[in-house]
Structure 1
Amino acid sequence: MTDRESPPDPERPTEPAPPLPLAEGDRVVAPKAGGLARSGLIVSVMTMLSRVMGLARDVVVAALFGAGSGADAFFVAFKIPNFMRRLFAEGAFNQAFVPVLSEYATRGSRREVRELLDAVSGSLTVVLALLTALFMLAAPWLVWVFAPGFGRDPEKLALTADMLRLTFPYLLLISLTAFSGSVLNTWNRFAVPAFTPVLLNISLIGAALLLTPLMSEPAMGLAWGVLIAGVAQLAFQVPFLVRLGLAPRPWPNFAHPGVRRIMLLMAPALFGVSVSQINLLLDTVLASLLAPGSVSWLYYSDRLVELPLGVFGIAIGTVILPALSKRHAEQSSEHFAAMLDWAIRAVLLLGLPAALALALLAEPLLISLFHYGAMTEQDIAMAAMSLRAYAFGLVAFMLIKVLAPGFFARQNTSTPVKVGIIAMVANMVLNLLLIWPLAHAGLALATALSAFMNAGLLGWLLRKEGVLVFQPGWGRYAVQLLGGCAVLGVGLAWLAPDWQAWLGWGVWTRVSWLALLVVVGAAVYFAWLAATGVRIRHFRMKS
């Protein structure tokens, strides 16, 4: 399949028809052009709500289970289907499905779009149902593969396997949710898919508070919460598909041309888009061989990095993929290049100060969020080490999210997979080199370094292909960003109390100080940018 292969119906005009309601006429038109910044803001706000609820969830789990065996078992049992969810649903499937769906929506008929949705949803359900059943049966072996260190504790291994049998159906449910979200995103309905993860956090908080006291093994209540969340998230999105007239009637059809194209695109994308997730999973495997609590230390630090990554990086990547796919279908190469440049600028605008703040405030953040109940001062100190290492790679994690769509939107998945394999091998080597002197923090640092290699190669190849063309003004912009980060760093270092003092404070004192630091840091950073000429209008971009 070449980049410029004909659309589903080549006799139809290449330009979209005038906007019509979906239910009228035979054509399904591409969504109206909207502002990428506005769409990104919508996704960012919803993602922020989800991440804040996720942190609240982790606060509850940390208070109840700390970094003990029950927490380790749950994190592994949740990480395995969650990893595969990102690999299949939000990863390879989404990156392969959205460009094909965008092409059908831009150039195809309403009937062709409906047939594609029916065939894809039915085929996806069959494949994932079989995988779910197989992995539930193989749960003990999966645990041994992904957390071999648990083999030293038969009770911990058995508990994790029992949890995994409850959490694995989440893969099927959340993948169908991701399918629904991809359709909604293609029609510029970004708010609903971005809000949906909130339901996972609500379910887990409810399970932690209400179900765990009823269980003979309290941590099993969290596994039930994952299963409940999968049902709730899928049920939440279906009515919005019905309202658009896009609710599929699932019927497997692997011979459908669109399904075949998606499958061909997915195969290499399984590696290309999810390398960072594979690297994080490798961290878990090796961490299970280290001191007890290592898995949890990495988990808590990764959760803090996921907040800005989701709010900024993933949000921008989410809105830019359908827009890039549309521009590629319309063969608008100049607008395509300008969108990529816009995405990189937006990521750096928010990613650089976020990474710096995470590194400078590692202990205060961890203490404010997690130092309650079973979470000890030693746990805080250990998690802070891996948090700083992950923060170092935050900008690279974000850049991957916006550079990879530059390939996937053009239905090129072979190039990112080659880059992904190189980065994954580098991560393995760095893991083995850094785990001995730095323990779990070495695993986090290896992930960060390999992410920079991944992002750097993706950017270099996009430039080489002429797809990424930097717009004028990058020199001035770099000075503005670096100056803003310098002002931010000085302000936080001067204002923040020593982290040992935070240990003796109550929750409201911690929250108040943390809020003050966030507000002051943001104020001085954006004040510097405003004083040096950065304006909101500079980030306006039509989809």
Structure 2
Amino acid sequence: MSETIPSAPVIPIEEEQSAETVSAGLARATTILAIGNIASRALGFAKEILLSNLFGASRAVDAFQIAITIPRDLYDLAIFGHTNSAIVPVLSEYAAREDKSELWRLVSALVSLVLLISGVLVLLMTFFAPYVIAFYRGTPSLTPLESPFALSPELLRSSGMSQAAFGLSADLLRLTAPSLIFMSTFSVLAGMLYALRRFTYPAFGAALFNLMIVVTTLALAPRIGIQGVAIGWIAGAVAQMSLQFLGMRGVRLRLMFWSLPQMLRHRGLQRIGALYLPVLFTLIIDVLINRPFSYTIASQTGEGNIAYMHWATNLREFPMGLVGTAISIAILPTLARQALQLSQRTAFRQTLGQGIRLALTLIIPAAIGMFVLAGPLIGLLFEHGQFTAQNTFDMAVVLRLYLVGIPFAAVDLLLISAFYAQRDSLTPALVGLFSLGCYIVVTLLLLPHIGFLSLMVADSFKHLVHMSVSFLLLRRRLSGLGDQRLMGTAIKVSGAALVMGVAVYGLARAVAELFPPQGLQERLLLVFVPSAAGVALYFFMASRLQLNEFTLFVRALTRRLRRG
């Protein structure tokens, strides 16, 4: 919900930072978050390969996916899985004060509340696992069970699963359910560290999560089967949460279970809840409308379309995570502090402008490079076994249409962070509802003409609409966003990225002629040689064009790699 920004906080605020300091800090934070994202995705990919090698496309893997999806969805919906919208802006206000005692009190209340809620949900999942799985898969009758661990015929029929698969899913859910407690606690602790602008440990939490799954699976799965992977999931959740304690120097927390009424009356906690309600609404709309609509269209327009959509979305999310997500997380604590004082409105505009310009300098060349190399990249990753060259071609078309929208999506994430920093989560939710309507209308209009591909075109249009409306609303609210500098950066970056794209295309054709992509080595050459040349060329052009945000990012990346 929207809140009025206080014009003069009573509590002393930490000293303002110069624009140069903010810009350098943004570049450093983005670098840390991007490296953490790369590590997480690489280890996540290793995890998927390991699962496929050990178990294949089996009943065991299906049961494991069900067992981790349920606590993960509950984490998203009930325990503030998307906490940047609510927790970070409010905690940043308390973190900006010289006296941090109220921050520790609020975080203590948050941790206590999250432990209570997640603990109750874990008990329900553990003792009523058959019901939970059946409800997740269908709509069973509420016939009482003789035992919480029983498998009644009604539950089996409603789930659409065999007795063996259903029983295995229930057993695995009991193993993975406690992960909800650790993931939820991690979410609060990470939000606090973001508010304190300590990015390193939250950035690498997901990487450690996946690493623990890989290590535990290698150690236990050969002996005890898929249960070893479930234990790895728990170990990963515990490790991810525990890592955050390393960044909590000077933090003083205490559990407040015995003072629940007092805890719930904390104004900061109430504000977090109010800010989260519109976000929760958008999550529910996504689950109830957007996903069913998209999957229904995909399934009705051809075999394999859902798989194309899923895989292409995962590939698209890689540059989005490295750029859009990383910068939006890095910029939010600073924007939230600057939004506290009307005297810092200019600084707020400058920080947001720096973030948008940095996003443009990174996401546009990434999108164009991936657009050009979509075919070779998909061939390298997927063209094995039953995945044919025709499948590669079809999926490349899907990916390219998705990529058209990611520059808009990346900028949009920063604009959404600007709303959240102003304690306004209602406006992004309403804009999201409008853009979802545009997505559905465009899909239905194009469906008779281009079929399944209408979903990808509509998705890119949705991001364009959301970004445009958000930009206009913020521009009006902030009396401008430095339009000339943004336009100048966009023109320079687009020109350099197009030149890079042409060069990458030509080099890729030359490599394909010299080394026809018949084996793994040739496919690696076809992807990495043009990619490396394109990155080097873009680096050169960016330095010649004096793209300051890009220069700061490269410097921060170089320093971080040297330390590492």
Q: Which moved more, 1:351-360 or 1:248-257?
A: 248-257
Amino acid across the alignment from 1:240:
G
TM-score computed with the length of structure 2 as normaliser: 0.79
What is the aligned partner in structure 2 of residue 185 from structure 1? Answer: 194
What is the aligned partner in structure 2 of residue 415 from structure 1? Answer: 427
How do 1:435-446 and structure 2 match up within 5 A?
441-446=453-458
Q: State the alpha-carbon separation in 1 of the partners of residues 105 and 393 from structure 2.
A: 55
What is the aligned partner in structure 2 of residue 16 from structure 1? Answer: 14
Q: Contact (CA 8 Å) 2:276, 2:425: kept in 1 or not?
A: yes
Q: Contact (CA 8 Å) 1:167, 1:227: kept in 2 or not?
A: yes
- Structure 1 residue 355, shift from structure 2 partner: 1.4
Amino acid across the alignment from 1:227:
I
Match for residue 527 of structure 1 among 527, 540, 559: 540
Confirm whether residue 100 of structure 1 aligns to residue 90 of structure 2: yes
- CA 1:351 to 1:61, structure 2 compared with 1: closer, same or farther past 3 Å? farther
How do 1:47-66 and structure 2 match up within 5 A?
47-61=37-51
- Structure 1 residue 153, shift from structure 2 partner: 5.6
Which consecutive residues of structure 1, in runs of 5 or more, have no partner in the other structure?
20-31
- Structure 1 residue 490, shift from structure 2 partner: 0.9
How do 1:8-407 and structure 2 match up within 5 A?
11-13=10-12, 15-16=13-14, 35-61=25-51, 78=68, 81-82=71-72, 85-86=75-76, 92-107=82-97, 109-134=99-124, 137-144=131-138, 154-155=161-162, 158=166, 162=170, 167=176, 169-206=178-215, 209=218, 212-214=221-223, 222-241=229-248, 243-249=249-255, 251=257, 252=260, 253-271=263-281, 281-282=291-292, 285-286=295-296, 289=299, 294-331=305-342, 332-372=344-384, 377=389, 380-407=392-419
- Structure 1 residue 120, shift from structure 2 partner: 1.1
- Structure 1 residue 69, shift from structure 2 partner: 7.4
- CA 1:451 to 1:191, structure 2 compared with 1: closer, same or farther past 3 Å? same
Q: State the alpha-carbon separation in 2 of the partners of residues 213 and 426 from structure 1.
A: 49
- Structure 1 residue 357, shift from structure 2 partner: 2.0
Percent of residue pairs identical: 26
Instruction: Give deviations 1:103-139, integer Å, cap 9, x for gaps.
Output: 1122373331221111111112223333455565422
**Secondary structure, aligned partner of 1:244:** coil
What is the aligned partner in structure 2 of residue 3 from structure 1? Answer: 4
What is the aligned partner in structure 2 of residue 28 from structure 1? Answer: none
Q: Which moved more, 1:485-494 or 1:525-534?
A: 525-534
Q: What count of residue pairs does the alignment treat as equivalent?
A: 517
Amino acid across the alignment from 1:123:
L
Q: Which moved more, 1:368-377 or 1:98-107?
A: 368-377
Q: State the alpha-carbon separation in 2 of the partners of residues 35 and 354 from structure 1.
A: 23
**Secondary structure, aligned partner of 1:496:** helix
Q: Contact (CA 8 Å) 1:301, 1:387: kept in 2 or not?
A: yes
Which consecutive residues of structure 2, in runs of 5 or more, have no partner in the other structure?
140-156, 554-564
Amino acid across the alignment from 2:97:
R
How do 1:498-537 and structure 2 match up within 5 A?
504-506=518-520, 508-535=521-548
Q: State the alpha-carbon separation in 1 of the partners of residues 353 and 107 from structure 2.
A: 32
Instruction: Give deviations 1:79-114, integer Å, cap 9, x for gaps.
Output: 565455456667643221111111112237333122
How big is the alpha-carbon RMSD for the aligned residues of Structure 1 and Structure 2?
3.9
Q: Contact (CA 8 Å) 1:71, 1:296: kept in 2 or not?
A: no
- CA 1:248 to 1:381, structure 2 compared with 1: closer, same or farther past 3 Å? farther
Q: Contact (CA 8 Å) 1:337, 1:467: kept in 2 or not?
A: no
Amino acid across the alignment from 2:134:
P
TM-score computed with the length of structure 1 as normaliser: 0.81
Instruction: Give deviations 1:371-415, integer Å, cap 9, x for gaps.
Output: 456755565445434322322221222122211111111111111
- Structure 1 residue 446, shift from structure 2 partner: 3.5
